[in-house]
A and B are shown apart, each in its own frame.
Chain A
Amino acid sequence: MSAIIIRNGRVIDPANKRDEVVDLTIVDERIADQSAIKNQKTETIDAKGLIVAPGLIDMHVHLREPGFGHKETIASGAHAAAAGGFTTIVCMPNTLPAADNPATIAWIKDRANRTASVNVLPTGAISKNIAGEELAPIGSLGQAGVVAITDDGHCVQNHELMRRAVEYARMVGLPVLDHCQDYNLVGNGVVNEGYWSTLLGLPGWPAAGEEAIVMRNILLAELCDHHIHCQHISAAGSVRLIREAQARGVKISGEVCPHHIALTDEAIQNFDTNYKMNPPLRSKADVDAILEGIADGTLSILCSDHAPHAGFEKEVEFDQAPFGIVGLETALGIFIDQLVHKHHKIDIVRLIKMYTLEPAKLLKLDAGTLSVGAPADVTLIASDLEWTVRTDQFQSLSRNSPFDGWKLKGRAVRTIVNGKTVWSL
């Protein structure tokens, strides 16, 4: 029996519409009522001036185990998550082998149980080997404990296969997440098709390549009456399509990564591969549309798309470098800095909701709230703290971030998982 009292913080719990300065009590790894404290040994954490939020959830993370432990392990990725303020991360299935079978899911869960400092929830693949040709055993993946299915990093091109996957996922009660990319339209594109691709002679990745699949997903969500969540939205047209479909009641949603609001494709002009990710950085107009989509609630979830790669893998010719940047340790800071402080698009309460209640609702997780009885996952946030990103201090094994040296306002200062502090500043 042990107890923790987090004193005098501003407790923000969107699930219970709570926003007040109050003490938060944890007893035996769960959120408790203050009356539950009897004679236990009690630790006190002073949270004066801090926000006490439900543990944040990043539902789009690439841990590289099994297969690519030189980029990231489940342990190092989890620790990076803790340092970024996340108590729960959802990992994508593009490992080696792919997470397209119950044995691999069991391996990931076992590894996470033994080595991870935060909650690691696996997703399963939509198709076998993420090849987009045959359905993966979605029902068995569900029984093995995946929280959703996705072929992230890839996109099922065959609309008929995708339709059957959505119908099947509906039967077993799993949400479908989709990386939206039409392979024919995108071709060998590596950067946004526009002024900078034209100037630099780099193959263009047109916004329509994302929008076409967002539209496809809207049609299939309607046809199958099941939720499809569009991952890492980058294009203005995608925001408009999702907004219009939601207005008609279609079960469609979208998520946003920090780089798609903090940067534009202008950043690629020196061929620095730390600005290469998929989908690519887009234009100012796209950034503005995404900010509006966040402001009006069209885009309901924030995530990092944390994609670690080793330095030697990224330090190659631009078109030959792998896509992706690390994000777990910068995402919260960038979102608070940009969305709350710089652009005033949302307040910190909404931001926390987009990182807790919204992903928990979508994935049906026992997380994302400070309700009495909930697991004691808590993130303490200093929303006005100014700090500088130092990639050489990252907990992640990889350093492929374009944000080194950025001065940000707002970050997590303590991360508590199941009543245990797993990281503090």
Chain B
Amino acid sequence: MRSGCLKNEMNWNRKDLLGLRELSADEINFILETADAFKQVGTREIKKVPALRGKTLVNFFVEPSTRTRTSFELAAFRLSADVINISATTSSLTKGETLKDTARNLEALHADILVLRHSSAGAAQFLAQRLKSSVINAGDGAHEHPTQGLLDMYTIREKRGRIDNLHVVIVGDILFSRVARSNIFGLTKLGARVTLVGPSTLVPREFEKLGVTVSNQIDKVLPDADVVNLLRIQHERQRKEYFPGISEYTTLFGLTKERAKLLKPNCLVMHPGPINRGVEIDSEVADGLQSVILDQVTNGLAVRMAVLYLCGGIAA
């Protein structure tokens, strides 16, 4: 893999990917273009390139995740890196070791890239400041999930040819969502118009200061949407004060079969998964023609290969 095949030459100089807020529009575009090249690798008979051969990647998932971890693991395999997985239950964190000490031990084993999923906002930045290894944020609390934001943007760009001036509607639990924040930061940088929709308790007006519109009326917003990105309602985590119940949520904000009729024919329906069928989205809509949910998963692999390739090439 050579960067010479990319449209935009650019000098990538970040060892870490912590969030989309600190990236420029050029840097985001550069990652997406790098992912273009890697996407093609997945269609070959031999789905593997030697870009990270000899490098060691640690998937350090302090908070449980299957989808994101698997995606990073596969991305690393396709780049020929050696991969180990550590989860909260198998790490010494359960024995009282601090995050810093655990990570420094991994570094002492010459881990080149650390992919961190953690329940605390700022955890990835915390490690990045203290390690020479490359740190990739795979989700830190309600803060950022940059590779999810990137794969969402990649998918929009792939299906609609652009991002600027598109109207992207994000629906659901915005307050506790790192996916929402990474999408907001990335999409607004690339010129999209973003509307957040959900119950007022989960979409505080304060978000308008981030350059987006807040609405509590989904039926008014859907006809004007170019993309609808539905977030999982994480009822298992929610304090009960935030909304009265799942059925009321579906009544007010679910993308039901009926509501989907309000959408423009070329509007994309997205979801970061795992989906709750019948809660935030009806089965028919999730599996319908407008749904690009599985494309997101495929693109996630290409985007993560691009991120590992770029950052892994910088780390000492």
Closest partner residue, chain B, to A188 (CB atom): B239
Specify which chain B residues have a CB less than 8 angstroms from the CB of A195 in the assembled complex.
206, 209
Are B178 and A201 in contact, with the CB atoms below 8 A? yes
Contact indicator per residue, chain A 375-417, by CB within 8 Å of chain B (1) or not (0): 0000000000000000000000000000000000000000000
B125 touches A271 (CB 8 A): yes
**Chain A residues positioned under 8 Å from B121 (CB to CB):** 200-202, 271, 318-319
* Chain B residues, CB < 8 A from A187: 239
Contact status B141-A312, CB under 8 Å: no
Q: Is the interface of B mostly helix, strand, loop or mixed?
A: mixed
Contact indicator B142/A201 (Cβ below 8 Å): yes
Cβ 8 A contact of B125, one of A203, A270, A320: A270
Which chain B positions have C-beta within 8 A of A200? 121-122, 143
Within 165-212 of B, Cβ neighbours of A (below 8 Å) are at 176, 178, 181, 204, 206-207, 209-210
Query: In the complex, how many angstroms separate the beta carbon of B46 from the nearest chain A beta carbon?
Result: 40
C-alpha spacing A316/B129, complex, angstroms? 12
Which residue in chain A gives the minimum CB-CB distance to B129?
A270
Query: How many residues belonging to B are interface residues under a CB distance threshold of 8 Å?
Result: 25
Tell me if A110 is interfacial: C-beta within 8 Å of chain B. no
Q: Which of B99, B120, B125, B206 contacts A194 (CB 8 A)?
A: B206
Shortest CB–CB separation between residue A354 and chain B, in angstroms? 34
Closest residue of chain A to B142 (Cβ to Cβ) is A201
A317/B206 in contact, CB under 8 A? no
- A154-166 vs B, CB cutoff 8 Å, 1 = contact: the mask equals 0000000000000
Q: Say whether A315 contacts B120, CB under 8 Å.
A: no
Q: Most B CB atoms within 10 A — which of A194, A199, A201, A315? A: A201
Question: Nearest-CB distance from A355 to chain B (Å)?
Answer: 36
How far does the Cβ of A384 sit from chain B's closest Cβ, in whole Å? 37
Q: Which B residues are in CB contact (< 8 Å) with A315? A: 98, 100
Check B123 for interface membership: any CB of A closer than 8 A. Answer: yes
Interface residues in chain A, defined as those with a beta carbon under 8 Å from any beta carbon in chain B: 187, 194-195, 198-203, 270-271, 312, 315-320
24 pairs, CB–CB < 8 Å, chain A vs chain B? A187-B239, A194-B206, A195-B206, A198-B204, A198-B209, A200-B143, A201-B144, A201-B176, A201-B178, A203-B142, A270-B125, A271-B125, A312-B98, A315-B98, A315-B100, A316-B98, A316-B99, A316-B100, A317-B118, A317-B120, A317-B123, A318-B120, A318-B126, A319-B120
Q: State the B residues within 8 Å of A (CB).
A: 21, 98-100, 118, 120-123, 125-126, 140-144, 176, 178, 181, 204, 206-207, 209-210, 239
